[in-house]
Structure 1
Amino acid sequence: MQEFRFLIERNNQAYILAGEEALLTSIVNGAQPVVRFVIFDPPAVLVGYHQAVDQEVNIEEVRKRNWDIGRRPTGGGTIIMGPWQLGWEIYASNDVLGYTPENAIKYGAKGVIKTLEKLGIKASFRPKNDVEVNGRKISGIGAFSEGRYVAVTGTLLLDFDADAMISVLRLSSEKLRDKLAKDFKDRLTWINKELVKPIDMEELINIAKESFAEALEVKLLDSNYTELEKKSISELALKYSSPEWIFNLRKPLIGDDIRYTERKFPGGLVKVQIKLTGRNLIESIIITGDFFIEPRTAIYDLEARLKWSRIEDIEREVKEWFRNVSTIGITEEDLINLIKEVLK
């Protein structure tokens, strides 16, 4: 039976996210595969790699609560991580995790489902990246890769405060806030809501460790970071705590004539901002949202392709770009039509 290292980390968002990048790099360079459980302390509002903080987060409310804001190295939507939920991560070669990010996500879901089964909670996988209980989400999952190595990251809700979640999101009105709060309560569930007798985090960790070992068919050995991993995490934590990474990576366009639209696809919400020069030349374009693309930096390539492109060249540029990327639940026609819609 293959052996994986098992790590537990309770720390701030910058240190934990630095660990995600450092551990994947370490596995690529020959280190033993890893399952890591993490607890964010203090709580943190984390945007996905392709999101803009200004569009998604109520920054003033986050600061009032003395929470952190961070940017994940994975796609997906805005989440809140804190001591009330268990974060879990798997780092391994893709032959262990099914060769594609989609299959890797399903492997992670197996660990969550087994954990819940041991607690007497019946759960199932919901494409593209959720685990649900009676139609309500209890775990969200993301994945990113480097070559033939994959990192799968996810959450498992032990407890949840919907009102706190809503308060730190950027919303357009109190009416929308009230509706969203109701939607969250209708669409989400958590372990201690489903159980007659609540459990604590220590008990959840013990059950989840056993369950992930069974789901992956590996042996988990209590371990520590290597010296190289410690050094890398310390260095990367500077990046993940920097305003440049958190706030400026996907900053919205500014100006008087910014055209904007958004649309929800099976693969996530896509937001497009375009600034035109004249009638048919794209001066700049920003594409943000809670979608997944591999490689994750490929969206910059598409924006660069479309910058200073004529409107009639959009279809050709997007189709050429799609040849070298992998998306979940978003087709090239979806993206072409959305960009054309902005320009109308």
Structure 2
Amino acid sequence: MKWRVIRSGIGQAATNMAVDEAMLRANAGGQLPPTIRFYGWQPAAVSIGYFQKAAAEVDISECRRQGIDVVRRLTGGRAVLHDAELTYSLVVSETHPLVPPTITASYRFFSQGLLDGLKMLGIEAQMSMPQAAYSQTKRRHTSAACFDAPSHYEVTFDGRKLIGSAQVRKEGVILQHGSLLLNFKPRQLASLLNLPTPEAKASVAGMLGKRATSLTEAAKREISWEEACQAIQTAFGPALGVELAADSLSQAEQRMAQELAATKYMQDTWNLRR
């Protein structure tokens, strides 16, 4: 079976998250093949992990002051600032014969497609080991930000996190999505976290700058959304042993995404629920 590949282009935060959930639901219904989707964000947005306490960890008023949307993801993890980035999402049945059954093994499987795409961009990235690179770091040096440290089988460059991914499994379907930062803005991200003082924000910004990097920094040249998207799309199928076929969202997915955006992902009852 061919996998669908969809380029959604640049969208708003609520729409981006609604489409991901609509894809998951459609796949759960057995109506559609596995799908990988590429998209971007406009305006910039902070996505909050499913289990995060929004007001405790993110400065909602500062996000609004800077014109940055806030949305809660269906997946776990910590806060991500989505701005100059290529985002991927994929949905596939948990029982697909190619996909390893455990979460960490499936991360490794999907990460190979990302690594091969980065190689096409001239970036020799690595996969982080199961023991998180900063597992011994004292808690006072951690933050509510996703790019604080790499997790199991995430993609790093020169010891710094390059791609942040998160996964959820619902209704027998895997949804994984992740951010490939074209440029990284640690100071802006730190300014949006709920930290007690300007000094604390500066400290976290410095820490994030040491622990994460971007495609442009790793490649030592500017990489556009289109170039990054083409490279990852070209490499992903062969790396996973599947054939990708260009496609678009079904009418049912589009209707479901519109409803989810309006009733869920645009609402504070969902985004600020914790």
Q: TM-score range by the shorter chain?
A: 0.7 to 0.9
Distance 1:169 1:108 in 2: 30
Displacement of 1:20 after TM fit? 1.2
Q: Which residue of 1 aligns with 2:257?
A: 233
| 1:238-261 CA-partner distances (Å, limit 9, x unpaired) | 2111110011x21xxxxxxxxxxx
Residue in structure 2 matching 1:202, options 226, 229, 238: 226
| 1:207-245 CA-partner distances (Å, limit 9, x unpaired) | 110111122211111111111111110111121111100
Which secondary structure state, in structure 2, belongs to the residue aligned with residue 75 of structure 1? Answer: coil
Q: Which residue of 2 aligns with 1:7?
A: 6
Matched, 1:133 2:191: no
Letter in 2 for 1:17: M
| 1:282-318 CA-partner distances (Å, limit 9, x unpaired) | xxxxxxxxxxxxxxxxxxxxxxxxxxxxxxxxxxxxx
Instruction: Tell me if structure 2 keeps the 8 A contact 1:27–1:91.
Output: yes
Letter in 2 for 1:217: G
Instruction: Tell me if structure 2 keeps the 8 A contact 1:141–1:155.
Output: yes
Distance 2:77 2:215 in 1: 23
| 1:86-122 CA-partner distances (Å, limit 9, x unpaired) | 1101111123321222222222211221111112222
More strand by share: 1
User: Radius of gyration: which is bigger?
Assistant: 1
The ranges of structure 1 where at least 4 consecutive aligned residues each deviate by more than 3 angstroms after the TM superposition are: none
Q: Which residue of 2 aligns with 1:307?
A: none
Question: What runs of 5+ residues in structure 1 fail to find an aligned partner?
Answer: 251-344
Residue in structure 2 matching 1:167, options 191, 195, 207: 191
Instruction: Tell me if structure 2 keeps the 8 A contact 1:171–1:177.
Output: yes
Q: Which residue of 2 aligns with 1:157?
A: 181
Q: Which residue of 2 aligns with 1:179?
A: 203
Distance 1:51 1:65 in 2: 21
Letter in 1 for 2:63: V
Distance 1:192 1:43 in 2: 18
Matches within 5 A, 1:209-224: 209-224=233-248
Higher relative contact order (CA 8 A, sep 6+): 2
Which secondary structure state, in structure 1, belongs to the residue aligned with residue 99 of structure 2? Answer: coil
Displacement of 1:39 after TM fit? 0.4
Instruction: Tell me if structure 2 keeps the 8 A contact 1:108–1:152.
Output: no
Q: Which residue of 2 aligns with 1:108?
A: 110
| 1:165-184 CA-partner distances (Å, limit 9, x unpaired) | 11111112222212111111
| 1:179-217 CA-partner distances (Å, limit 9, x unpaired) | 111111111111111223322111111111011112221
Q: Which residue of 2 aligns with 1:53?
A: 54
Displacement of 1:160 after TM fit? 1.3
Q: Which residue of 1 aligns with 2:21?
A: 21
Letter in 2 for 1:90: L
Letter in 1 for 2:268: P
| 1:37-80 CA-partner distances (Å, limit 9, x unpaired) | 11011111111000111111111221121110000000100111
TM-score of the pair, normalised by structure 1: 0.69
Question: What runs of 5+ residues in structure 2 fail to find an aligned partner?
Answer: 131-150
Letter in 2 for 1:69: V
Distance 2:26 2:103 in 1: 19
Q: Which residue of 2 aligns with 1:193?
A: 217
Matches within 5 A, 1:31-50: 31-50=32-51
Distance 2:99 2:176 in 1: 9
Instruction: Tell me if structure 1 keeps the 8 A contact 2:187–2:202.
Output: no
Residue in structure 1 matching 2:121, options 96, 119, 122: 119
Q: Which residue of 2 aligns with 1:245?
A: 270
| 1:106-141 CA-partner distances (Å, limit 9, x unpaired) | 222112211111122221222334211111000111
Instruction: Tell me if structure 1 keeps the 8 A contact 2:3–2:35.
Output: yes
Cα RMSD of the aligned pairs, angstroms, is 1.3
Distance 1:24 1:11 in 2: 18
Which secondary structure state, in structure 2, belongs to the residue aligned with residue 218 of structure 1? Answer: coil
Q: Which residue of 2 aligns with 1:287?
A: none
TM-score of the pair, normalised by structure 2: 0.86
Q: Greater shift after overlay, 134-143 or 97-106?
A: 97-106
Which secondary structure state, in structure 2, belongs to the residue aligned with residue 180 of structure 1? Answer: helix
Q: Which residue of 2 aligns with 1:99?
A: 101
